[in-house]
Amino acid sequence: MSPSQSHTQHAITLQGVSMSFGSALALRPTDLTVHRGEFLTLLGPSGSGKSTLLNLIAGAIAPTAGRILLDDRDITFTPPRDRGIGMVFQNYALMPHMTVFENVAYPLRVRGCSADEIRRKVHEALERVGLKGFEERKPRQMSGGQQQRVGIARCIVYSPAIIMMDEPLGALDKNLREQMQDEIKRLHTDLGTTFIYVTHDQEEALNMSDRICLMSVGEIAQLGTPDELYFAPQSRFVAEFIGESNLIEGSISGPGRMAAAAGGEFVLRDTTRAKGAAVTLMIRPERLHLLAEGETAPAGANLIEGRVAGTSFIGGMTRIQAEAGNGLVLTTKAISEHVSRRARPGTPVRLCWNPEDGVLLDR
């Protein structure tokens, strides 16, 4: 580790980095710090700028403005191969005529390593990804999951300071994706290297990341831990992109109170908003409780009445939708065995929530 690396906790720092392709702005001026050793995921809908951000860090493209630092060293215009950043691609990008061994050995040959070192490191990398014994296969003789393991082995074989993956599991089916998510997480723990990971799958991001950088049309919508994004979204976009959400619109009617546009007044956790301010209250479905017949709401809880509009059985949980009047539809989730008896469409229901579980968003 060089002296300059020893006093920074930041692997990558972006300062005012923006990217335009012709007249199209793919990334607005962005500041971002990636901590040393963390697993950071860039999450967002298609076209939000995830790959652009990754390619800027990798050096595949140069920014229109701003600076990129790697451990305090300005690498804005450093060629990709001199950055020490490894990349895993969605389409594997393996060389089809080469064996697995040669594919993984390639980055070491380019770096002029000795034959002994190459043999040792390739075997170590293949063992790490569970592909010992596959050395002589060609990529086309392997499954998608195995090919992506080769892609990962080729990335880790030369111990890059940062490992970046752009939708690496995008081409795999659900079960394999979940298995590979666990393997990649384990790899991150074992190597201790900084990972920057791109996905548009929110569950994958929630499962894998130390922090998530949620992107929306060329800018960061929110950067935080999976918990922060789920429980404390700062905007409607974040609330709707991560998980399921109930959104109740209205305006502040008094200190810590809100009048819903659909009718009813609710107690808020937040007491700082000015009277009359337009707001949206967000409640996660699992925080909205369906009261049983005769059951009273806990003291201080907000209560809303409605009728069951529909239910869907999703395995261990059942999702219940309730019409609460004036077009307001609320969704709640409950453990299946307790609700299957009482949630018939049209049944009157009462829903309640603790004001602490309501998140106030600016409209």
Residues in contact with ligand ATP by the rule CB under 6 A: 21, 24, 26, 44, 46-52, 200
Q: How far apart are CA 51 and CA 197, in angstroms?
A: 10
Query: What residue 49 binds from Mg ion, ligand ATP, none (CB within 5 to 8 A, per partner kind)?
Result: ligand ATP
Measured from the CB of residue 35, what is the shortest distance to ligand ATP in angstroms?
22
Query: What residue 254 binds from Mg ion, ligand ATP, none (CB within 5 to 8 A, per partner kind)?
Result: none
Among 13, 18, 51, 202, binds Mg ion (CB under 5 A): 51
Measured from the CB of residue 53, what is the shortest distance to ligand ATP in angstroms?
7
Please, which residue, 74 or 203, has the CB nearer to Mg ion?
Answer: 203
Measured from the CB of residue 48, what is the shortest distance to ligand ATP in angstroms?
4
Q: Do 316 and 336 contact (CB within 8 A), yes or no?
A: yes
Please, which residue, 51 or 103, has the CB nearer to Mg ion?
Answer: 51
Which range in 49-57, 137-145, 148-156, 249-257 contacts Mg ion by CB under 5 A? Answer: 49-57
Residue at token pair 């659909």: 262
Q: How far apart are CA 114 and CA 209, in angstroms?
A: 36
User: Count of CB atoms within 10 A of residue 120's CB?
Assistant: 13
Please, which residue, 51 or 332, has the CB nearer to Mg ion?
Answer: 51
Measured from the CB of residue 165, what is the shortest distance to ligand ATP in angstroms?
13
Measured from the CB of residue 88, what is the shortest distance to ligand ATP in angstroms?
15
Please, which residue, 47 or 263, has the CB nearer to ligand ATP?
Answer: 47
Rg, Å, the chain Cα set: 25
Query: What residue 348 binds from Mg ion, ligand ATP, none (CB within 5 to 8 A, per partner kind)?
Result: none
Nearest CA-CA partner of 85 in 18, 172, 158: 158
Query: What residue 148 binds from Mg ion, ligand ATP, none (CB within 5 to 8 A, per partner kind)?
Result: none
DSSP three-state, residue 259:
strand
DSSP three-state, residue 148:
helix
Measured from the CB of residue 85, what is the shortest distance to ligand ATP in angstroms?
17
Q: How far apart are CA 31 and CA 68, in angstroms?
A: 10
Please, which residue, 51 or 280, has the CB nearer to Mg ion?
Answer: 51
Please, which residue, 201 or 249, has the CB nearer to ligand ATP?
Answer: 201
Which range in 48-56, 93-101, 108-116, 210-218 contacts Mg ion by CB under 5 A? Answer: 48-56
Chain positions 125 to 154 lying near Mg ion, rule: CB under 5 A, are none
Nearest CA-CA partner of 229 in 239, 237, 244: 239
**Exposed e or buried b for every residue in 260-288, given b needs 16+ CB within 10 A?**
bebebebbbeeeebeeeeebbbbbbbebb
DSSP three-state, residue 97:
coil
User: Residue 223: CB partners within 8 Å, gap ≥ 6?
Assistant: 32, 211, 212, 213, 214
Q: How far apart are CA 130 and CA 134, in angstroms?
A: 9
Measured from the CB of residue 206, what is the shortest distance to ligand ATP in angstroms?
17
Please, which residue, 44 or 306, has the CB nearer to ligand ATP?
Answer: 44
Measured from the CB of residue 200, what is the shortest distance to ligand ATP in angstroms?
5
Measured from the CB of residue 192, what is the shortest distance to Mg ion in angstroms?
27
Please, which residue, 56 or 281, has the CB nearer to ligand ATP?
Answer: 56
Q: Do 136 and 99 contact (CB within 8 A), yes or no?
A: yes
Query: What residue 52 binds from ligand ATP, Mg ion, none (CB within 5 to 8 A, per partner kind)?
Result: ligand ATP
Q: Is 202 in the site for Mg ion (CB under 5 A)?
A: no
CA end-to-end distance (rounded Å), the chain: 48
Q: Do 148 and 168 contact (CB within 8 A), yes or no?
A: yes
**Which residues contact Mg ion (rule: CB under 5 A)?**
51
